[in-house]
Chain A
Amino acid sequence: MEETSDHPNPTTSTPGTTPEPDPKTMRSSKPGLKRLLITTTVLFSFLSGLPFLWKSVEIYRSQLPFHDIDSLSDQIKSTPLRFPCTFHALFIGFRSNDPDQLRSEIQDGVNQLTGESSQCGSCNVSISVTVQSPDELCSETFPSTCSYRCGVIKRDAFGGGLDDEVDESLDDVFGGCSGGIGKMYSVVVVNKEEGDGGDEVKAVVGKRRHAWIVGSGLEERYGEVVGRVSEVFVKVFMNGGREEGDSIRGEFMPVGSDGRLVLSFSLLNSNPRDWIYDWDFQRIDEGLLAPVTKALAPIADISVESQVLYHTPKSSFSSWDEKLQSYIFRTSDLPFFVNSNEWHLDTSAGASGRSKILQFVVYIPSGKECPLHLQLPNGEISKTNGFISPMWGSVIVWNPRNCDKDSESPSRNMISPQDLEQIVEVFLGQFRQLFGFKSEAIYTSELGSYKILPSERGFTEWELDVLSRKHTCFNLHSCATTLGSLSRLVQSLPRMIIKDEIGEQVKYSLKAAKLAQSNASLGGYSSSASSSREARSLAENAFFHPSIMSVSYFSYEHCFAVYSPFFLPVAGHVVLAALREWKRYKQEKAKYLTWLTRKKTA
């Protein structure tokens, strides 16, 4: 570095005069500030540019509402979602009963059956009772939720005729009841006159939301009647006739995470050299399956497809039974029945990556194994010849009418419409099983059995209510856990890019979840089910967004490694220069000050 400041030439110190200032310790002129200013200006410009650089390499992260996500998961975990339900009991032909007392007894019975735990999807029950005496005078509990016109249901004429007709007429009677919030479920207990049919009590649950118990001499069996009424309310209307524990089992919720379900029907001709069967699937789809898919619309977006396959042998073995004159396969063979190597079932082109596919297979055995029947462990032959596998689908073995092969060439046949209807009835039973219901239309308990009327839509309305409630619970729970996982993941990787799309989906998912919760509290079962389904699918879309890959985020080390070759050498020099200038200035300043003090003292 060149010294540009003036410094006096070194002179010898003459005796007697004041000693000349030593250039190493003193200087006579004030040191200049130019160099310091230049270097510090450059350094300062570097430093002032640093925030701009930082901003330009900032990772774009859409702001996720972490607080809302946490509050949603806490809310769902702490308070299980309950739906408002109204239960109305109508006693016909009871002389001496006080409706309020009846109501408290039914409430006790209901509480006993529901137990202490309130699981998600259960009902917030409000009970009302109306009693109609034999003289057609009514008394009801206050406040009356149902404007039941006294005397419409006649004690003697009730129950005559088919159960379906009774169901329809009951629907007319209660059709005017709004029932407050939530849906209203009603049980009609009719105490007929003595000697009408002996002691038997008939209990039927209808297709809508009504049930009736008909019997004679019921006033004496008062406790039993109240017990049965509570049982209908809790076990049938609230739980759907299924026995389940506390947890909602995910294996009976076959709905994909995008809210779609594909039903894939396959007709398997195991040996087309013997016979070939075909079916008119269009008829089944339009006539018999369309009501079912429409009924389940709030729960899942169902689409149906079908195919016919050939050369599809099964992989388990069957044996000939002389007594039954047919080939038998047992329940122990069932896990090995589906020959996945040769049954190319999963060929759906319409299902997207996250939909759920359920396979419904109709298996037509070959000539060597015809007729093929399923033998249950107790030795009986199965009536349906079919089985399900949860989350996979179901299989029905259908035997052709006659097992003789007519001629050498294989015969091409169509399955007749009556046979098709029978097959579809078994399918509906299996479909119900896959959703957790029983395939048969009866519910039995210790107090008695209840006949359940089957509905053309595959599920009765109260069963659809149960499904809506359970699915709302499951979807909300799944949505909350997914969003929780997403927020934990995002927070653990602070330098991962979060696109706007993900932020939007999270926002909409939270909104849909809140809507589902508010719908649930207002009693709209199907609307809460569909908004919870939307919440879950949006949460899954956000979580499974392809851009959230931990491999492709920019860690701090990466950032440092990329930018340091540009800035470190230059920055090093600039900083060093400024420091050096600063040190030099201080030195020169000190020198000047000592010279000044010397001058003063001299």
Chain B
Amino acid sequence: KKKMKNLTLVVMLLCYSFASSSGDTTIHTNNWAVLVCTSRFWFNYRHMANTLSLYRTVKRLGIPDERIILMLADDMACNSRNQYPAQVFNNENHQINLYGDNVEVDYRGYEVTVENFLRVLTGRHENAVPRSKRLLSDEGSHILLYMTGHGGDEFLKFQDAEELQSHDLADAVKQMKEKRRFKELLIMVDTCQAATLFNQLQSPGVLAIGSSLKGENSYSHHLDSDIGVSVVDRFTYYTLAFFERLNIYDNASLNRSYDPRQLMSTAYYRTDLYQPHLSEVPVTNFFGSVMETVHTDSAYHAFSNRISNSKIKSDTPFNQLSEQDVKEDLRNTHNQNDELKTEKQKCPYSEMRADLHEKLKKIENVDTMVNLSIAVMILVVMVSSSLL
């Protein structure tokens, strides 16, 4: 454990030095994750499982819910075709239930649209949208953007009804960079012809990993005969296999090579916009939670002085009081005079009421007083009615 922690410290220093040497003066403040599943319908179970697996990984490595935006276009866990209600698996051995008891979905169902997705990235929400649905990153944030679903040449299909074009994505990233909403961005896309989605990207600080090249399909990994559909995609499966072996103290690098024979497609890395070399980028840069911390050396003793001051003021004899104290006394007496004046000017009626109020407050047993007065009232009524 100690060695691990030393290594982490060294890695963090390396990270920091790399960040500063890359010409950027901002420090890495936090990590965010935007995980998007864009397909609906039961036979796209695997896309949901992809996204939920990555959600689980990212949470396990330390990114909290408040910094994860999870967008699921359909509900598989509570789907009527699901043999295992409220459970989502990414493997036929059913070992891990991805839909455990701590899943926070920010955009669900029909809320997952191209417009909402671009609003999340650019930050242009209506005023009423709550903070949990916003990407509140700052200029020191590293953002992981993972998208999965069905895609094609320069587009990604959303909800079977609309498309996200590569130039829309590039435009959104450009606006994010202009508004300094991220320091580094890692885009991972697991769809068919995923690499084409990155064709129009221009902004620096973006690293993109796609699961297949133009003209290639991305395939699912295996079919779960119990559930009846494929439960995970190949690219995500091999990515997860890598992450399952890590914990938050590890310093493995992002330089992962995917075997094209296992993937049945060629994984594509777009690194020309990203300055640090991949082998020097630790995984915790995007997938973990790293806080920059500074020790507080001392407290700010603002109040001990106040106590000693008040003590001294009471001790000093009268003729040593500074001018300011005299001024303050004058001011106080002025206030008192004003109060007296205003009291005299108050209405005598309200004075009487105030006196009565005070007297009533002083009476201990109000209940008996009330009962007594009710009895008196009844008596008066009887007497007056008998007189009439």
Residues of A within 8 A of B (CB): 162, 164-165, 168-169, 172, 247, 249-251, 288, 317, 331-338, 340-341, 345-346, 348, 351-353, 374, 376, 382-384, 386-392, 394, 421-422, 424-426, 428-430, 432-433, 438-441, 453-458, 481-482, 485, 488-489, 543-546, 548-552
Roughly how many angstroms separate A421 CA and B301 CA in the complex, as a whole number?
10
- A250-B131 contact, Cβ under 8 Å, with A172-B324, A334-B293, A394-B296: no
Return the contact of B299 from the options A331, A336, A425 (Cβ within 8 A). A425
Shortest beta-carbon distance from A50 to chain B in Å: 32
Task: Please give, as numbers and ranges, the residues of chain A lying within 8 Å of B290 by CB-CB distance.
Answer: 335
* B192 CB, min distance to chain A CBs, angstroms: 23
**Is the pair B302, A456 in contact by a Cβ cutoff of 8 Å?**
yes
Minimum CB–CB distance for A316 against chain B, Å = 9
Binding site for A on B (CB under 8 A): 1, 5-6, 8-9, 12, 25-27, 29-30, 59, 62-67, 102, 114-115, 118-119, 122-127, 129, 131, 134, 136, 138-140, 168, 171-172, 175, 178-179, 248-249, 289-306, 308-309, 312, 322-324
Could you tell me the distance in whole angstroms from the C-beta of B5 to the nearest C-beta in chain A?
5
Pick from B29, B289, B301: contact of A251, CB below 8 A.
Answer: B29
Closest to B293 in A: A334
Contact B293 A422 (CB under 8 A): no
Q: Say whether B303 contacts A335, CB under 8 Å.
A: no
Closest to B102 in A: A341
Given contacts A426-B299, A429-B299, A430-B296, A351 and B131 within 8 Å (CB-CB): yes
Which one, A374, A389, A543, contacts B294 given CB within 8 A?
A389
Rounded to whole angstroms, the CA-CA distance of A327 and B66 in the bound complex is 30
Q: Which single residue of chain B is at the shortest CB-CB distance from A432? A: B300
Q: Can you add 18 more A-B contacts, CB < 8 Å, to A425-B301, A549-B119? A: A164-B309, A251-B27, A332-B6, A340-B67, A340-B289, A345-B66, A348-B131, A352-B127, A383-B298, A387-B293, A390-B294, A440-B298, A453-B305, A454-B301, A456-B303, A458-B300, A544-B123, A551-B115
The 7 tightest CB contacts between A and B, nearest first, are A340-B64, A334-B293, A425-B299, A428-B300, A440-B298, A429-B300, A346-B66
In the assembled complex, the CB of A280 is this many whole angstroms from the nearest CB of chain B, namely 16
| Contact assessment for B296 and A388 in the assembled complex, using a CB-CB cutoff below 8 Å | yes
A384 to B26, CA, bound (A): 27
A164 x B305 contact (CB < 8 A): yes
Closest to A390 in B: B292
Contacts A/B (CB < 8 Å), 6 sampled: A338-B291, A384-B296, A391-B29, A428-B299, A429-B299, A485-B179
Nearest B residue (CB) for A552: B115
Q: Least Cβ distance of B26 to chain A in Å? A: 7
- CB-nearest residue of chain B relative to A342? B64
> Across the two chains, which residue of chain A brings its CB closest to B132?
A346
Q: Are B291 and A389 in contact (CB under 8 A)?
A: yes
Known: A441-B301, A549-B119. A386 touches B5 (CB 8 A): no
Q: In the bound complex, do residue B302 and residue A455 qualify as a contact, i.e. CB atoms below 8 Å apart?
A: yes
The distance in angstroms between the C-alpha atoms of A500 and B175, with both chains bound, is 22
Q: How far is the CB of B100 from chain A (nearest CB, A)?
A: 12
| Most-contacted residue by chain B among A250, A384, A550, A551 (CB, 10 A) | A551
Give, as a whole number of angstroms, the nearest-CB distance from B104 to chain A.
11
Which of A169, A340, A429 makes the CB contact (< 8 A) with B296? A429
Are B178's CB and A383's CB within 8 A? Answer: no
Q: Cβ of B299 and Cβ of A551 under 8 Å apart?
A: no
Given contacts A341-B59, A439-B300, A168 and B126 within 8 Å (CB-CB): no
Judging by beta carbons under 8 Å apart, are A250 and B26 in contact?
yes
Task: With CB as the reference atom, state the residue of chain A lying closest to B130.
Answer: A353
Q: Which residues of B contact A249 (CB under 8 A)?
A: 25-26
Chain A residues near B62 (CB-CB < 8 A) = 336, 340
**A424-B292 Cα distance, complex, nearest whole Å:** 23
Contacts of A165 in B (CB 8 A): 322
Determine which of B168, B297, B324 lies in contact with A438 in the assembled complex, contact meaning CB atoms within 8 Å.
B297
Q: Tell me the bound Cα distance from A162 to B307 in angstroms.
A: 13
CA distance A552 to B124 in the complex (A): 13
